[in-house]
Structure 1
């Protein structure tokens, strides 16, 4: 299970619907970069990696965590998923090359096909850990996705992602993350928790709102990367629009919030 699947459970979804009305938040302009393939999930995960790498070049003191793709390779090596020796060798090779490519990109800040391809390959590996899915095209990269991701990254504004004091990439929520089978957000910056979405829609829907609430609750329960972080705002970066939209966290933390947190924890524990 994941946070996304947990908040989608009927019991959880109905409780959150009862407590909160989904804010009417949407992008101002029209979509700028439309999908060029039908590999929506792969493109979205790959862009998450690329976007976080780019943000890291803007915030060299950012807190970073081990890539989920690294956990995928561990799963294969330990035999927790059936895999041939050839597949294991390919996964190790891709990860080794990704580490080198990422390091070079952080040093040079030069966006090229190599770092974009690396992001796509990491996304392919990522699916092994998150969904137990082994991409039959592991290691192969579609040029259309490379071009699409490059154009999306060009929309991102440095001022929106340059932190004044604190930046955490792919933050986790301590033991609270384990309540929902593991949970990691995309970005926390100066008290704002941001989820990166590569969707065609530029409007925040109920499931996205509930996911943000879930992250907010997990932070209350377990902190971020081993410490308590005050989250003042929540938001979504719509990568196909180049727009970051946020709203105050106080809209969530009302008088009933403490009871909701207790219910959330108990429900998660009972669901495991």
Structure 2
């Protein structure tokens, strides 16, 4: 299993390289906490807010690009209209809301019949093949509410409820329990409504083009990672923590995303790197000039101006080459030929610790 950005920046050597070359220049959020956490699942709230960010950006941006969808070769029909994977291309795609729809063993005659049997089955699988027993299905009514909001801006309450269910919340009538889940749901909805209200006041939520879930290093040839959004020239990561600190960990993650975005652009323009050596995304990521954290509970975006930070091109390119070298060392695969990739990204930059192909 490939080492991704999150684990890569935990390596002492990598942390030291980042901190010594580009120490954290981020600024903590200045506003007071506006929406406290009620104590419920951080993951549930995080996924809900991320979905709401997606919906809000769909409403306010002129064009939406989803690298996971725009990954196959674009075909054109006789009228010149673009088609991707058999579906007619739209600038603003429709949003699908999927909700919890029971367990997979509930409608199967064979195989696991309960959670214990499912867990036993998973024990025999490698880590990369672990599977969830949860079934999901599209809720057409909720999808309609969300897409109507994208068109009209109406029914924010319905969108909040759809976002919560899409994140995995199971409504009170879906579970038999002595816990007052209706009361919990009301508290959750109120908390998320406030977070959505703050989001709708943000200037960064409007732009020309938004890249949803930009994916880097998909082929494991360098370093896998997935950002939240790129809005025009801004790469933004969404945080739902109560803390207002622009931490070193946040900065390392953003800087690595910037580097991987830059790598994608370099490989896309290279004539020596084959299609199999590039990202699946059949396009070029935008040039990023700012990276930032949106502190959703404070209603504040804090950014770092990359153009001011990276004022020495030679120093940055050596840093990027070192990151690529170290990432290939971490994720190298015997069946991948890295010579063309390294010919673009590392070999032109002669530095003391540079590795050769024979080192891998």
TM range (shorter): 0.7 to 0.9
Contact 1:177 1:218 in 2 (8 A): no
Q: 1:146 aligns with which of 189, 207, 224?
A: 189
Instruction: For 1:140-219, list aligned pairs within 5 A.
Output: 142-156=185-199, 157-163=201-207, 165-173=208-216, 175=218, 179-181=222-224, 183-219=225-261
> Residues 260 and 34 from structure 1, CA distance in 2 versus in 1: closer, same or farther, beyond 3 angstroms?
same
Q: How many residues are treated as equivalent by the alignment?
A: 247
Which residue of structure 2 aligns with residue 42 of structure 1? 44
Which secondary structure does the structure 2 equivalent of 1:33 belong to? coil
CA RMSD in angstroms comes to 3.3
Which residue of structure 1 aligns with residue 71 of structure 2? none
What CA distance in whole angstroms lies between the structure 1 residues aligned with 2:53 and 2:21?
Answer: 32
Give a deviation string over 1:43-78, Cα, whole Å, max 9, x none. Answer: 1122111112112111142223559x98xx9xx9xx
TM-superposed CA distance for 1:176, in Å, is: 7.1
What CA distance in whole angstroms lies between the structure 1 residues aligned with 2:232 and 2:131?
Answer: 42
What CA distance in whole angstroms lies between the structure 2 residues aligned with 1:185 and 1:21?
Answer: 21
What CA distance in whole angstroms lies between the structure 2 residues aligned with 1:102 and 1:2?
Answer: 32
**Structure number with higher helix proportion:** 1
> Residues 162 and 92 from structure 1, CA distance in 2 versus in 1: closer, same or farther, beyond 3 angstroms?
same
Aligned: 1:261 with 2:312:
no
TM-superposed CA distance for 1:108, in Å, is: 3.4
Moved over 6 A (4+): none
* Unpaired segments ≥5 residues, structure 2: 69-94, 105-121, 123-128, 170-176, 266-278, 332-360
TM-superposed CA distance for 1:119, in Å, is: 2.4
> Residues 6 and 120 from structure 1, CA distance in 2 versus in 1: closer, same or farther, beyond 3 angstroms?
farther
Contact 2:238 2:296 in 1 (8 A): yes
What CA distance in whole angstroms lies between the structure 1 residues aligned with 2:162 and 2:54?
Answer: 13
Aligned: 1:242 with 2:286:
no
Aligned: 1:229 with 2:274:
no
What CA distance in whole angstroms lies between the structure 1 residues aligned with 2:141 and 2:214?
Answer: 24
TM-superposed CA distance for 1:15, in Å, is: 1.4
> Residues 55 and 266 from structure 1, CA distance in 2 versus in 1: closer, same or farther, beyond 3 angstroms?
same
Contact 1:193 1:231 in 2 (8 A): yes
* Unpaired segments ≥5 residues, structure 1: 126-136
Q: Normalised by the size of structure 2, how large is the TM-score?
A: 0.59
Which residue of structure 2 aligns with residue 105 of structure 1? 149
**Structure number with higher strand proportion:** 2
Which secondary structure does the structure 1 equivalent of 2:64 belong to? coil
